[in-house]
Every structure is written in C-alpha cells, then in structure tokens.
Amino acid sequence: MSLKPIPGEEEYTVLDNEPTIEEPDLAPDDPMRAFLPKSFGKQTIERDVKARVEQTRRAAPPPPKAKPPPQDSDSDSDDSSEEEEEYPLSHELIIPAHTKPISSITLDPAGTRFVTSSHDTTIKFFDFHAMSTTHLHSFKTLEPSEAHHIHTVAFSPLDNGQHLLVVPAAPQAKILTRDGDTVLEFVKGDPYLRDMHNTKGHVSEISGGCWSPMQRGVVVTAGTDSTVRIWDVQSRRGHRDIMVHKSRGKGGGVGLVPWHGVVGGSAGSAGGGMIGTMALDGVLSIWNAGGPYSRPVMEVRDAHTKETWTGGLTFSSDGRLIATMGEDQYIKLWDTRKLKTPITTRANFPTPTPTPIIFSPTNSTTLLTGDTSNTLHILSSATLTSEQTHSLSPPATISPEQTTTTTTTPSPLTSITWHPQINQILTGSADGNLHILYSPTISRKGATTLLSRAPRKRHIDDYNNSNITTTDMTTISGDAVILPNALLGKKGVVADKRRPAMPAQTPWGKSQPDQAHIERSIGLSSMRDEDPREALLKYADVAEREPVFTAAWRETQPKTIYAEVEDEDEEGEEGGSEGGGR
C-alpha cells in the first residue's frame, strides 16, 4: 500500500502501520542535543569563500601611487580605486614547494597549470584545479637530470602548453610533455673539437633557453661554451643553427637567451625576431633570429662589469626596450634603436642569484624585480626608481591546527612571473617557498579557484614535514590505502630529503631465529655442518651387508682384485739398494 499526497496539502496521510520515530525527552537547553543528529542523508557543506579570501589578505596593503589630485571629486574616487587595483598585490598565498632556491616559474597559456624548477634538482607540476587550501601540493615531482640543478623551465606558447622545455645545469636540454613524460633529449657535442661550428650540441653546461614565439617547435639555448644554438624539435641529429660568441676576455660563457618576436610573424619581420644574449665578459649582443648568424646585429662592449654573471635580461612587449640586471648590482635600460649607451642606470641594487627582472605584460612603463630581502620592487622604466616595494611575508599556514607563528629571516627573491590571462604574480624565494599574489577583484581563476574548492579528505600523504613529527591514526581518511609497515618508523623527518630513508624496523627483524628453531622447522638442516666424506663412510658397512641397488647381481658380481702395490715397491727398493751398492 503506497502513500498518496493529499491535493492542496504539504503533508502526507499517516497510516496505521507506518512506524513512528520517538524523539528523546530532553529539555530544549539540554547539552545532549548537540550530539544528536538533526537530519539524515548526505549533507552538503557550503564554504565561506569570503572568509578564506580574507585569510590570505596581506598584512600591509600596497600603498597607492602619489599623484596630484584632479579637480573633479567623482573622478578622484574613480582614479583612487583604479590605482589601488592596478597591480594584483592585495592578497597572498604561500606554497612550500621546494627545499632550495626556486630558479624559474612557468605557466601554460591558459593559466591552469604551472611548473617550478629549483636548485634541489627537481621540477614540480602544480594544477590549480587539483589543489585546495588543505592540499597545497604538486601532483608530480621529477628529477630530469640526475644530480644537476635546473636553470629554466618554460611551457611552449604556440601549442597551448603541450610541451615543456627543461634546461638543467648539464650539456643536454630536454623536451617533456605537460604531464612530465620525456619526448626528446638534445644531443651532446664532442668536447675534443675546438671549432664549435663542427659540434652537434653543447659541450658544457647550458645556462638558459626559451621557446620561439613565432615558429612552433623551435628552441634556442645558450651555454658556457660561448655558443647559442637553435634547435628544431623534429630534428634529433643536432642543432639547426649556431651562433658563436667571440670573447675578448677570460670568460666567454653566454647567459640568458630571451627571444622577442611577434606571434604568427615571420622570423625576419621588422620589430620581431630578435635574440638577446649577455656574456660573461660583459658584452650585450642582439642577434637576428632569421639569420645570418655569423655576427650579431647590435653589440655593446662593457655593458656590465667583466667576470660577473648577468642573470637578468628581458625585452619589452614592443621590442624597443631591453632591461639588464647583473651581479655588479647595476640595473640598466637600453633602447634597441640606439644601443650604444643605456638610457637609465641604477646602481647599488642588492641583486639576488638567480636574478629576476621582467616587464609588466600590460605596459612597457613598469618593471618588476626583487632583491636579497625578499622584497618585490615595481620600478619605473623612465627612472628605474622603486615606485612600490612589497615585502613578502614569511611562510604561514592556513590550517586552523597551527596556533603559533614563527618569524623567519627573509630570503632573496630568485624568480618572478606575471601571467596576463589570470592577472596574478608568482614569485619564488631562496627558501623554496612559492608566493602567489592576486586580487579578488581583478584576478581571474588561479588562486581564486583554489580557494573556492571544497577541502579534500585527509590522506595519509597530506602532512607537512616541518610541522608533523608523528603519524596520528585519527587523521587518516577512510579511503586511504595503508601499505604494510608504512607507519612503522615514521617518528621523525630526515633533514636531507635527498638522503634515502632507513628501512623500517619490524617486530620480526629485532631477533634472529635460534638453532633449535631451524632444526625443528627445516628438514635435514643439520647436514650443513657435517663432513660429506664422513657421512658416506658411516653407511659403508650397511651398504655392503644389505645392498639396495646392487642386490640383483650380488652372485654374479666378480670379486674385486687389487694389485699388490706395496710388494712391488718393496722389491724395487731392495733391487735399487743392491744396484746402488755395486
């Protein structure tokens, strides 16, 4: 018998055979009511996204730029709001990514996935859609070149980030897929050839590299062998073109290789197709990407101090300005139309290593860089003065379990990138922490998507090595797969993460089985300590009296006759003595 709703009423008819649920007789203010279920079935938990975003707000908001106030009061309020949101710096999210300095950060063209490289010889893959505030971890970690730190990683711009360029501190660069699978490893040149034009690849450490913004599948790399090589991913036999830097000093290594060009344009088009290099001897060179490669188009001697490594080199969006920043603590701005002397110079700037400097993707009037105190500087390209300075806070977790905060010494800012699609700034520090700077009003996706996702269930692998020293069984989710002996011996964290972990001490490995146990459990185990010849002679009399295998021919078996060797020896000795006497 089924229940039918009464038309015009919200309740159902109660039948006689329907079971009734008895509620406990408790007072309205009884504390026991807090432990009783209020409803049944799966409950959806709604997150307070605004509260999560507010937790990531920076302690010190960015100061507005000082400008003369306009006459109209309405326009004044509009301009002030635009100035406050000119840069996505109001909120900050910190991710402990590596254990050593982060050398580079790259995002795919859509801004959904980013990869970081570090001096700890690893690269890590992050996905905003797979992360939450309780799971700020990478989904994959690779070591592309064993025992070599990574200089640069870069997503390909012309195939929607399907490939990744990895430049380790080794002679061979690699091409990986966006999921980390190896596609190609460039060949290594012959180190015994003196003419670099005859080598098929680099013969020493590669210092930098990037993708071509105009030609799909084309890569340029520079190395300490004083060469810049252009590679085609389709060709596996060697480089396509080579540019050799003729050094006039002791050092001839070539540093960063930014390739400026117009997407979709030809290699020799005007205003595009320029490759910039900075050598160890202080020479700034501009090469035409379309060739010829025998000599650079423009060159400046003594652009920076000799024997100092210039790690910062970047083009503006229109290709007219070049900014360089090196270990000599100089920041210089150059004009490609007149590359003899710098336009503006700033000295005594605390330069970190690696050296990060980029142009703003929205305009060419602003530069972003960092110093040794983990401070982000927004420079004016006209004067190279710091319009805004933002000190990045030390690491702090969002987890409510952490009640105390510790203050650490600021680390140098070693890498920086600004993605125009999501309008967020990602910086890396020497302590291995990744800072994501964003604004809830002008930023899109990225960190805002991360904060709006529901928290993941606690997994056995989701623990922070710096905070948790013991494994608590109550924090493991129900769907976790626990391997045998996985929880044994996990009482501390090894300081050096590259050191292999010690094997777990199991209860069965603490004691060795005794001899009595082996004799009882293993048959004929006592024969290991017995002489085999004595064991056979022990059964010699029994085999002769009761033969088992030779009983069939016992009667017909001939009698064994041994030669009388001893008698012959005695006769020989007697005859020899007689002959000797004669």
Q: Which of 444, 422, 447 is nearest to 434 (CA)?
A: 447
Q: Which of 257, 249, 259 is nearest to 280 (CA)?
A: 249
3-state helix, strand, coil in the chain (%, to 5): 15, 25, 60
Mean pLDDT of 545-558: 76
pLDDT at 46 over 80: no
For 182-206, letters b (16+ CB in 10 Å) and e give eebebbebeeeeeebeebbbbbbbb
* H or E element, residue 150: strand 150-155
The model's pLDDT over 62-106, given as tens digits with 9 standing for 90+, comes to: 455 555 555 554 544 444 444 557 899 999 999 999 999 999 999
Residue 474 DSSP one-character state: G
Q: Which residue has the higher pLDDT, 236 or 39?
A: 236
Alpha-carbon 431 to chain mean position = 14
pLDDT of residue 561: 74
pLDDT at 145 over 70: yes
pLDDT at 172 over 90: yes
Q: How far is CA 562 from CA 266, 545, 557, 566, 569, in A?
A: 103, 21, 15, 11, 15
Mean pLDDT of 296-312: 88
Give 220's strand partners: 210, 230
Q: Are 423 and 442 in contact (CB under 8 A)?
A: yes
Tokens at residue 481, please? Answer: 């797969």
The model's pLDDT over 397-456, given as tens digits with 9 standing for 90+, comes to: 444 444 444 556 778 999 999 999 999 999 999 999 999 999 999 999 999 888 887 776
User: How many whole angstroms separate alpha carbon 378 and alpha carbon 168?
Assistant: 30
Domain ranges (residues) in the chain:
52-57+86-396+409-475, 515-563
Return the sign of the alpha-carbon dihedral for residues 22, 27, 29, 35.
negative
pLDDT of residue 493: 45
Mean pLDDT of 471-482: 50
Q: Which of 316, 304, 388, 381 is nearest to 347 (CA)?
A: 304
The pLDDT confidence band at residue 393, using thresholds 50, 70 and 90, is low
Q: Three-state SS for 515? A: helix
pLDDT of residue 472: 42
52-57+86-396+409-475 carries CATH number 2.130.10.10 = yes
* Stated length of the chain: 582
Q: Mean pLDDT for the chain?
A: 78
Q: Which residue has the higher pLDDT, 17 or 76?
A: 17
Residue 318 CB contacts under 8 Å (≥ 6 apart), including other chains: 271, 364
Averaging pLDDT over each range in 219-233, 502-516, 546-560, which range is the top one?
219-233
Q: Three-state SS for 276? A: strand
Averaging pLDDT over each range in 23-32, 65-74, 500-509, 552-561, which range is the top one?
23-32
Return the sign of the alpha-carbon dihedral for residues 125, 129, 130, 136.
positive
Would strands 102-107 and 91-96 be described as parallel, antiparallel, or unpaired? unpaired
Q: Which residue has the higher pLDDT, 113 or 471?
A: 113
End-to-end Cα distance, the chain = 138
Mean pLDDT of 564-578: 55
Q: Three-state SS for 35? A: helix
The model's pLDDT over 313-326, given as tens digits with 9 standing for 90+, comes to: 999 988 889 999 98
Query: Model-level pTM?
Result: 0.69
Neighbours of 170 (CB within 10 A): 21
Lowest mean per-residue pLDDT among 13-17, 160-164, 228-232, 356-360: 13-17
User: How many whole angstroms separate alpha carbon 472 and alpha carbon 460?
Assistant: 9
Q: Are 36 and 24 in contact (CB under 8 A)?
A: yes
Q: Which residue has the higher pLDDT, 514 or 363?
A: 363
Tokens at residue 90, please? Answer: 């109001």
Q: Which residue has the higher pLDDT, 482 or 80?
A: 482
pLDDT at 357 over 90: yes
Averaging pLDDT over each range in 297-311, 484-498, 563-577, which range is the top one?
297-311
Mean pLDDT of 356-384: 91
pLDDT of residue 256: 77
The pLDDT confidence band at residue 108, using thresholds 50, 70 and 90, is very high
Mean pLDDT of 208-214: 91
Q: Which of 131, 257, 127, 102 is nearest to 180 (CA)?
A: 127
pLDDT of residue 486: 53
Q: Are 455 and 136 in contact (CB under 8 A)?
A: no
pLDDT of residue 397: 45
pLDDT at 373 over 60: yes
Question: What is the DSSP secondary-structure string of 333-367?
Answer: EEETTB-SS-SEEEES----SS--EEE-SS-SSEE
pLDDT of residue 201: 93
Residue with tokens 């012309």: 158
